[in-house]
Amino acid sequence: MTVTAGEPTGTSAGGVADYTPSAPSATRARSLHADYLRTHVDTLGGEVYELQGEARELDLRDRTFEKTKKSVPTLLEELTVERGMGWSDIAEVVGVSISAIRKWRKGGTASSESRKGLARIAALLDVLEEKGLVQDPAAWIEMDLPLDPGYFIRPLDLYLEGHTSALIDLAEQRQSVTQVLDEVRPDWRDNRSDFEVFVDSDGERSIRQRSE
């Protein structure tokens, strides 16, 4: 589409037809071209984002499938002894009690769903480490995200809510923490606590009202 300076661009009397653009035609043409490119890139970006999400999920599924070939005690050995993951975090991921998991370590029977849950978190920790940006993935997932005081959100919470791809985005630093949270937990800012945790005079943690 070519627009000439001073010529009406609409068909109605008044309104757009009376408007006289001030920019030279070459600038407007460039602006329109930039708009077109931006739209194209945005569309392409969305498609690539979706494609990457699907590819990540497939990769994680493949890795999970490989991990499920291991016995439950072997998976637990990998998670607790090699990775140093906490029993309480593993229990939360699989949705059973700590005692139940500890019995599996000694030969107790786990459901196939539980076994898959163990395999999937083990696979995710591998992915996070292989990306090279998280040296100790088991530690990273249990630490609170770097947010203003009063927010207590861990990568593990995002995993438990099913936001695995967003979690990998965070590890790869493709998006900021707030961008990721805006996307997966739009109301996260509403849950800021008026309190904070601090180290008390006896060396133990306590809770107090935030001073700001």
Partner 1 sequence: MDQIEPEALYDERGDVTWARPLLQGDVFDGIVLPGFGDQPMKVQIVNHPCAMRKGPEMLPRITVAPVGPHARVQGQGGWDGNLRIMPLPDLADGQHHATKFVDVTAAPAALLTRAYRIATLTHQGIYVLQQRLIKHYTRLEVPLELLRRESAPVLAEAVQQWDWIEEILSEGELTDESVIAAEAKVFDDWLSEGEPSRRELLRQEIHHTDIRKQAQRAARDRARTRDH
Which positions touch partner 1 (CB under 8 A)? 80-88, 91-92, 97-99, 102, 136, 138-139, 142-144, 152-153, 191, 193, 195, 197, 199, 203-207
Q: Rounded CA gap, 63 and 102, in Å? A: 24
Min CB(204)–partner 1 separation in Å = 5
Among residues 165 and 167, whose Cβ is nearest to partner 1?
167
The two structure tokens encoding residue 149: 């005081």
CB of 18 to partner 1, least distance (A): 59
Closer to partner 1 by Cβ: residue 17 or 207? 207
Q: How far is the CB of 136 from partner 1 (least distance, A)?
A: 6
User: Among residues 153 and 184, whose Cβ is nearest to partner 1?
Assistant: 153
Closest approach, Cβ 83 to partner 1, in A, equals 7
Strand ranges inside 44-173, DSSP E: none
Q: Give the residue among 141, 43, 31, 167 at the shortest CA–CA distance from 83.
A: 141
Nearest residue (CB) to partner 1, 29 versus 100: 100
Residues 86/141, Cβ–Cβ less than 8 Å: no
CB within 8 A of 3, min separation 6: which ones?
9, 21, 25, 28, 29
Question: Strand, helix or coil at 100?
Answer: helix
Nearest residue (CB) to partner 1, 26 versus 81: 81
Q: At what angle do helices 177-184 and 164-171 cross, to 10 degrees?
A: 170
CB of 161 to partner 1, least distance (A): 14
